[in-house]
Structure 1
Amino acid sequence: MLKEFFEKYFVNPIKYNTGYNPVNTLVYAIILGIATLIVYKVLKKMKIKIDKAFFRALIPYMVFGAFTRALTDAGVYPRTYITVSPGIYFLVFSIAFPALIISKKFFKDWRGVFLWFGWGLVMVDFAAMGANLEKMHFNFTVLKYFIPFLILAELAIYLMTKKLSIVRENSYLFYVHFYDATTTFVGVDFMGYWEQHVLPRLLIGLTGTAAVMYLLKFTVLYLALWIMKKLEEEGEDRELLDFIRMVIFILGFAPGTRNLLRMLLGA
């Protein structure tokens, strides 16, 4: 019974690419929350400051995860439980975290070493793509839709920074999540893709357009950041909240970049 339940809600959605369901979505969200707290505590114990320099050092690992996922869709890498979501996050973590520990332990300029190791991983993906060009079906038509809608979306955020303090104080999060929303909107409405996540899929079905992602992203993000602001005012750990903001950024940048690369590769 337990085996059948696990296969139905966790194995088969990955195996048959049927998208997320309410059960695995909830479980993955709980795992993400617990993992975020554990990783934060480990970083604190390692005396790693959650600052802009650390954030910049993580960017190539986000790109690596997104690029690897897109190349999996393109058939360059085999489709396995660790090369698609959510397993790709565990794959990236299993590489990035040991690299971080080794860099911190053995190098004075550990941020630089960690950063360039991450870009090295991205170069591996580029090499893999170059060796499999026959599998690529590049489609730059997507840019005809993506660029103008992205400009409009980011302009909307810019205008909101003039009126809403929460948007102004966290503009980079709204910018990156509207970037992600744009990739979904363009992919679903113009390029023939479909949404894998439960709530977005439901709302797209009800409204008939993936443009609803902008409203969904804004509402959820604004509410989350409003709650975090209240917690900060009540004396909650500022560095923990900054780390959570970093996780929120990753959850927008990584899937958005994967979506864009996938469309460009014609996967």
Structure 2
Amino acid sequence: MPTVDTFLPDFIQSTFFSGYTVFNTVVYTLILVAFILAIIKMFKKLEFDPLSIFYSIIPFIFLGSSTRALVDNGVYPKTVFLITPGLYILVGLTTILSFLFSIYLFRKKGIDYRYALFFIGIILSLPNVILFSNVNSTAIIYVILTWIVSSLIFLGLVFLVLYIKNNIFNEIEKFNLSKFIAKMKKYKINFSIVLAHLFDASTTYVAVEYFNYYEQHVLPNALNQLFDTYLTLFPMKIIVIVAV
């Protein structure tokens, strides 16, 4: 299997495969925007709502993040398509091809494309799940607890903002739980996206603070140097997602 050291020219290796810089971060952002626009166009042509597969692609998200973790731990080799940005390109293309195959099954066999896509992702993720059998259980507990705490803080802030704006209360002093829950359900996709990114922030925070990993991205590193803590990952994630 070709490695980064032998597969690519020196300029490409040093610019795009030797860590994140301001330049390659901008390039990746532009590529991502073009990729998203192409996906939107694809969904319009196929006449499918992209939100319909929101939960179906969760196994593919796990596939990407778990593969990256296994590479960092030396389980998988650092090849072109197993480190960023190659890994994200590979997982992205795999997801698209799996989606198109699911659409084919839906139109030819009547199989629900959402379930088909979900189970394809599960099957592809199984090797990583098996290889994770020896993962440090303490790290997993730390990540889950950090995610729960950060999620509760986020939801508490949302509740506080809604309370102040009086959007879900008939009277400012009277709490209406049913309206609050209805409000949450209305924006469940938005909340799911934020909570997913908080989970990503939790894994990164635990890794760099407790297990001697390092953060590769430019902005989180800049914020860490400014405030001397990677807790800045959490407000950064929320601000970026809400702004988008």
Q: Deviation per CA, 1:29-88: give whole Å up to 9, x if none.
A: 00000000001101211122223x411221111112222222222333221111111211
Q: Does 1:173 align with 2:175?
A: no
The answer for the alignment partner of 2:98 in structure 1 is 99
Aligned match for 2:16, one of 10, 23, 40: 10
Flag as ranges the 4+ runs of structure 1 deviating above 6 A. Answer: none
Q: Which structure has the greater CA radius of gyration?
A: 2
Q: CA–CA distance in 2 between the matches of 1:125 and 1:144?
A: 19
Partner of 1:223: 243
What is the one-letter code of the residue matched to 2:156?
A: L
Which residue of 90, 115, 121 corresponds with 1:118?
Answer: 121
Alignment partner of 1:29: what SS?
A: helix
> Given the alignment of the two structures, is residue 157 of structure 1 paired with residue 154 of structure 2, yes or no?
yes
Against the structure 1 CA distance between its residues 34 and 201, is the aligned structure 2 distance closer, same or farther, given a 3 Å change threshold? Answer: same
Larger RCO of the pair (alpha carbons < 8 Å, separation 6+): 1
| Percent of residue pairs identical | 30
Q: Partners of 1:34 and 1:62 in 2: how far apart?
A: 20
Q: 2:219 pairs with 195, 199, 207, which one?
A: 199
What letter matches 1:186 in structure 2? V
Superposition CA RMSD, Å: 2.5
CA distance in 2, matches of 1:190, 1:160: 27
Letter in 2 for 1:65: G
5 Å matches for 1:13-52? 13=18, 19-51=19-51
Contact 1:200 / 1:213 at 8 angstroms: preserved in 2? yes
**Structure 1 residues not aligned, in runs of 5+:** 14-18, 225-267
Rounded Cα–Cα distance in structure 2 between residues aligned with 1:125 and 1:146: 18
User: Matches of residues 52-131 of structure 1 in structure 2 within 5 Å?
Assistant: 53-106=52-105, 107-109=109-111, 110-127=113-130, 129=131
Deviates more, 1:27-36 or 1:117-126: 117-126
Q: What is the rounded CA distance, in whole Å, between the counterparts of 2:98 and 2:239 in structure 1?
A: 36
Q: Give a deviation string over 1:122-150, Cα, whole Å, max 9, x none.
A: 123335x28xx7xx5x3222245334332
Cα distance between partner residues in 1 of 2:145 and 2:127: 31
CA distance in 2 between partners of 1:102 and 1:207 (Å) = 47
TM-score normalized with structure 1 length: 0.70
Change (3 A) 1:25 1:74: same
Quick one: structure 1 residues 64 and 198, their matched pair in 2 at CA, closer, same or farther if it must change by over 3 Å? same
Query: How many residue pairs were aligned?
Result: 209
